[in-house]
Amino acid sequence: MTPLSIALNLALSFAGLAALCLAMDRHHRAIAGRGQTRARARALRLAGWAALAASFAAAVVTSDWNFGPVQWIGSLTGAALLVVGLVSYRPAWIRPAALLALPLALAAALLA
Amino acid sequence: MRQGFRQSMAWLHTWAGLVTGWVMFAVFVTGTATYYRADLSLWMRPELRAGPNDAIPAAERGIAYLKAHAPKAMAWYVSAPQPDRPVIAVYWMDSLEAPLGQAMLDVETGAPTKARDTQGGDFFYRFHYELQMMPALGRWIVGAAAMILLIALISGIVTHRRIFADFFTFRRDRSAQRGWLDAHNVTGVLALPFHLMITYTGIVTLGVMYMPWGVTAAYKGDDLRFYVEAAQTTTWRPAAGRPGEAVPLAPLLARAQGEISEPLEMVIVNNPGDANATVVAVFEEPHGLAHQHPQIAFDAASGSVVERVEPLKPAARVFTSFMGLHEAHFASTALRALFFLCGLLGAATIATGLVLWTVARAPKTGEAPGFGLRLVRGLNIGTILGLPIGMAAFFLGNRLLPVDLAHRATWEGGVFFGAWALAAVVSLLRPHRRAWTELGLAAGLLFGAVPVVGALTTDRGLDFLAFDAAMLGLGLALALGARKVSHYEARRQAAKAARPGPARVPEGLVEA
Amino acid sequence: MRVSKVLPVTDISGPLDRARSRSGWRYRCAVAARVGLAAFGGYALAGLATAFLSLTLPMVRSEAVATATLISFAILAGAVIWVFAARTLLRAALGLGLPIALVGLGLWLALDGVAMGPPA
């Protein structure tokens, strides 16, 4: 339950939730200014859930079954708040931020 | 089904939320502050510095003090110094009814500490489940309010049917009511697991008090027996009624420490001075969710082990894990910050819900607001801003009240309630948007003043950087919020002057 | 389908609203009756269920008490939701009274069993 393991958790949850947000037509339109194909939305949704699953796995691996789920749920709340803040106030930042979160997660995973 | 389940639940959510909102807002805010109870206590006793915290010599000093000052007590409790609480805290029980006596002792000398008399972070901790009332009354009020909040949460989930579709939605560009509703939904939904968890586990933490009928039926009301069988405490041995000589304490504690790897947290002496006295060594919780302290009880006269607290059985483990989740003692710095954030979101959910109630009932232009609406508006401001004002005043009082003032800790509480009451009166007297602006600014200034006053009145330099940063952050957030309200008000006034009296669209009546 | 989309955001009352449309006084009485039923009836059901389960769950008694106390608040919450969801006050009262009677009877039998001691 080190800060690094939580950083890893937060980064993965954020990337996942940002992808899920982009997969929703209303938000995609607001962020990108245009609609998207069905296939793209499905791919984003898949990637989003995969990242959330990876986040859960990371939490359980780094903080065991006792605290892992607690930490995962906490990271979901923190990351979702960040996504909502960006979508509402700085929609253009969300895609770069989500892409940046992935190497950050990798770095945290290597250090943790 | 014409008048459906969802409509009933919407009604229930609205009114359950309103009646419980003010109390639960205060409980959430002070409870959230309690995640940093130890840090608040350290800040509020600037005379103390972290030092050596050898538990066994400290316990001996504590017992020596109690021998001299409370020889007739039924029980003594000595709490070992911790890195975040560098004092020996001693408590004694004169009778089952009387409140515990207590004293704080210097770690080195065992004499009463020179640190200022204050409740520290314990003030908010106790407030969040007793409201600083008579304990029984306060606990029942908080329990009932928490139960109503649980109902409001469940009915709120039923009412808000677009939980996933609106998961990320916060429309601040639409009507005021839509914005408040979105804010209420987002803060509620994003931390929903936390809200449900913290409310239910909070009720469960005092569950045996609220719902004693299981203990009544299965134990004929002997709750001590229940706690012993549930592996929460050791058996209370009745006094023999004749004096007894106790063996030296330190070797007993050393033997206990030899069995258990966790640090010693507390030493309890039951029936001190009696032939039947027991010494209980209580250790810190092992790292885990469950709230259970390893304990070993010795016969004080012979030094033989009387009892060891057993491992938890499954249901007791779940029960104590609920308590552990509520307290989050296990949380490291980063996870604690997430719990803190969730607590703030809980307070924000309640606050936005309370405001939403008034926004949805705002009178049409030209109509005067009714008594009910004016009252709710006033109470909203008095609670949502009055409580932070009280808290900031409490911190300032800690630094500004004379250190040698008699009953100083009580005065600090008085400052808290006095400032809060003053803010509440102002909020009822001023026009409500003005009151939001003015009191928000006042709260911001008070929080901003805390680090300044702290630096001027103590010589601790940069020891409290994190605390100071938190105070500045809170102050800034409150002041910015106040500015936003005043800008909004100015725009509204300008718009009203430009085109007088158009019929107001009943906005918010149409979903989606 | 238009109709289902038009929905007041807050204060949409179900059964209670119909009473309100008739008279304010009646509405208040209906609300007071439901609140009273929810608070006292709900607590009675939860309390009786806690006592009943503490005596009858097939576990060590401390485990039975812990389990029963843990779930008692969920029972209370469920009972309150039921009282406010039921179409009429009578249905709410019957739906709460019947389980209270059953659990009360069960508790009475269980207490009898305790008084007579464990079966040989």
Compute the average pLDDT of residues B242-248. 91
pLDDT band at residue C117 under the 50/70/90 scheme: low
A87 CB neighbours in chain B (<8 A) are 168, 170
Q: How many Å lie between the alpha carbon of B28 and the closest alpha carbon of chain A?
A: 17
Which chain C residues have a beta carbon less than 8 Å from that of B318? 66, 70
Flag the least confident range among B31-40, B45-54, B126-135, B259-268.
B45-54
3-state secondary structure B340-387: HHHHHHHHHHHHHHHHHHHHHCCCCCCCCCCHHHHHHHHHHHHHHCHH
Please say if the pLDDT value at position C18 is more than 90: no
Q: Whole-angstrom Cα distance, residue B214 to residue B61?
A: 41
> What residues are paired with B408 via a beta bridge?
none
User: B510: which DSSP letter?
Assistant: B
> For residue A61, what are the contacts with CB-CB under 8 A and spacing of at least 6?
A68
Confidence (pLDDT) at C21: 53
Backbone angles phi, psi at B480, to 5 degrees: -65, -40
> How confident is residue B50, by pLDDT bands cut at 50, 70 and 90?
confident
- Judging contacts by C-beta atoms under 8 Å, the chain C residues touching residue B230 are 62-63, 65-66
- Name the residue of chain B whose CA is nearest to A74's CA: B338
Structure confidence at residue A1 (pLDDT): 54
Identity of residue B379: L
- pLDDT recorded at residue B350: 97
Closest CA to A108 of B190, B157, B334: B334
Give the burial class of B38: count Cβ atoms within 10 A of its Cβ; 0-12 exposed, 13-18 middle, 19 or more buried.
middle
Tokens in use for B391? Answer: 């808290």
Q: Which of residues 157-186 of B touch A (CB under 8 A)?
A: 165, 167-170, 172, 186
Distances (CA, A) of B162 to A17, A21, A61, B157, B511: 17, 15, 33, 9, 11
Give the one of C47, C52, C60 whose C-beta lies nearest to B211's C-beta: C47
Average pLDDT for residues B367-389, to the nearest whole number? Answer: 92
> What is the pLDDT averaged over residues B201-211?
96
Contact list, B150 vs chain C (CB under 8 Å): 73, 77
Q: Could you tell me if C46 and B185 are in contact, meaning their C-beta atoms sit under 8 angstroms apart?
A: no
Mean pLDDT of B264-287: 93
Confidence of residue B338 (pLDDT cuts 50, 70, 90): very high
Both ends of chain C: CA-CA distance in Å?
Answer: 67
Contact B353, B17 (CB under 8 A): yes
What string of DSSP letters covers chain A?
A: --HHHHHHHHHHHHHHHHHHHHHSHHHHHHHHSS---HHHHHHHHHHHHHHHHHHHHHHHHHHHHHHHHHHHHHHHHHHHHHHHHHHHH-GGGHHHHHHHHHHHHHHHHHH-
Q: What are phi and psi of B419, to 5 degrees?
A: -65, -40
Asked if pLDDT for residue C70 goes beyond 90, the answer is: yes
CB B128 within 8 A of CB A44: no
Which residue of B32, B163, B167, B168 to mutate against A (max A Cβ within 10 Å)?
Answer: B168
Asked if A15 reaches chain B (Cβ–Cβ under 8 Å), the answer is no
Whole-number average pLDDT of chain C: 82
Nearest CA to B22 out of B326, B424, B442, B485 is that of: B424
**Percent of chain B whose pLDDT exceeds 70:** 96
Give dist(CA B344, CA B338) in Å, integer: 10
**How would residue C14 be classed by pLDDT, with cut points 50, 70 and 90?**
very low
Give the ranges where B160-229 is alpha helix by DSSP (H): 176-190, 192-205, 207-210, 213-219, 223-229
Q: Give the C-alpha separation, C70 to B204, whole Å.
A: 6
Name the β-bridge partners of B101: B92
Cα separation, A91 vs A79, in Å, equals: 15
pTM recorded for the entire structure: 0.91
B127 CB burial (10 A radius; 0-12, 13-18, 19+): buried
Q: What phi and psi, each to the nearest 5 degrees, are found at residue B313?
A: -85, 165
- Work out the burial of residue B502: count CB atoms within 10 Å of its CB; fewer than 13 is exposed, 13-18 middle, 19 or more buried: exposed
pLDDT of residue B509: 35
Cα B3–chain centre separation: 40
Q: What is the pLDDT of residue B3?
A: 65
Distance CA(C105)–CA(C78), nearest Å, equals 21
- Which member of C10, C13, C64 has the closest CB to residue B357? C10
Position C1 scores a pLDDT of 31
Backbone angles phi, psi at B274, to 5 degrees: -90, 160
- The whole-angstrom separation of Cα B500 and Cα B88 is 68
CA dihedral of residues B154, B156, B160, B166 (deg, nearest 10): -100
Angle between helices C15-22 and B5-34 (to 10 degrees): 110
pLDDT of residue B83 exceeding 60: yes
Smallest CA–CA separation between A47 and chain B, in Å? 17
pLDDT given for residue B191 in this prediction: 95
Q: What is the pLDDT of residues C28-40, one digit of tens each?
A: 888 999 999 999 9
Predicted local confidence at residue B127, as pLDDT: 97
Which ranges of chain A have pLDDT less than 50? none
B residues 418-457 near A, CB within 8 Å?
A: none
**Which amino acid, residue B174?**
R
Is B512's pLDDT higher than 70? no
Average pLDDT, chain B: 90
Q: Which residue of A has its CA nearest to B189?
A: A77
Q: Which of B12-16, B160-164, B181-185, C62-66 has the lowest mean pLDDT?
A: B160-164
* Confidence check: pLDDT of B505 > 50: no
Question: What is the DSSP secondary structure assignment for residue B218, as one 8-state letter?
Answer: H
**Sorting pLDDT into bands at 50, 70 and 90, what band is B51?**
confident
| Cα B332 from Cα A63, distance rounded (Å) | 11
Q: Which residues contact A2 (CB under 8 A, 6 or more apart)?
A: A62, A112, B332, B334
Q: Tell me what pLDDT residue B511 has.
A: 35
Q: How far is CA A21 from CA A27, A104, C14, in A?
A: 6, 20, 34
Contacts of A42 (CB under 8 A, 6+ apart): A23
End-to-end CA distance of chain B: 23
Determine B/A contact with 3+ CB pairs under 8 A as the test: yes
Complete DSSP assignment for B412-433: HHHHHHHHHHHHHHHHHHS-HH
Range B26-49 average pLDDT: 94
ipTM of the complex: 0.92
Q: Tell me how far CA of residue A7 lies from CA of A99, B40, B362, B492, in angstroms.
A: 15, 26, 44, 43
User: How do residues B315-326 score in pLDDT, each as one tens digit?
Assistant: 999 999 999 999
Give the pLDDT band of residue B502 (cuts 50, 70, 90): very low
Task: Please give the pLDDT value at position C11.
Answer: 42
Q: Under a CB-based contact definition with an 8 Å cutoff, are residues B21 and B188 in contact?
A: no
